[in-house]
């Protein structure tokens, strides 16, 4: 009997495994830094469907790209807010 199914883990599973692997790093951070780290890890999960489209043999590449994208998006949103405030003054 053959079992049919997925042979490659989903990106969500990889992101979860990598997050678990980084627990030691997280535990060494100060309390306020743990919140920042947790937010970075949430970026990975938030963009999991996007990252799953990347074909990379290095599983950290989609992880890092998700983090970078999330941070860049936030930066652009903050720039827009600053520009709106500067324009209204």
**Residue 61: closest CA among 13, 7, 18, 24:** 18
Residue 34 lies inside a defined structural domain of this protein: yes
Residue 84 lies inside a defined structural domain of this protein: yes
Residue 75 lies inside a defined structural domain of this protein: yes
Residue 4 has pLDDT above 70, yes or no: no
Q: Where is pLDDT greater, at 2 or 46?
A: 46
Residue 16 lies inside a defined structural domain of this protein: yes
Q: What average pLDDT does range 4-21 have in this prediction?
A: 77
Residue 73 lies inside a defined structural domain of this protein: yes
Residue 5 has pLDDT above 70, yes or no: no
Domain housing 63: 11-88
How many domains does the chain contain in total? 1
33-83 pLDDT, tens per residue?
999 999 988 888 888 778 878 777 787 888 888 889 999 999 999 999 999
Helix (H) or strand (E) holding 72: helix 60-88
Residue 1 has pLDDT above 70, yes or no: no
Residue 80 lies inside a defined structural domain of this protein: yes
């Amino acid at each position: 009997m053959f079992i049919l199914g997925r042979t490659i883990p989903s990106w969500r599973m990889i992101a979860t495994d990598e997050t678990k692997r980084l627990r030691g790093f997280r535990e060494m951070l100060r309390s306020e830094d743990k919140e920042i780290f947790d937010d970075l890890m949430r970026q990975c999960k938030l963009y999991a469907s996007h990252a799953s489209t990347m074909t990379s043999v290095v599983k950290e590449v989609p992880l890092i790209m998700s983090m970078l994208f999330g941070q860049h998006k936030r930066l652009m949103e903050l720039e827009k807010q600053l520009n709106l405030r500067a324009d209204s003054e």
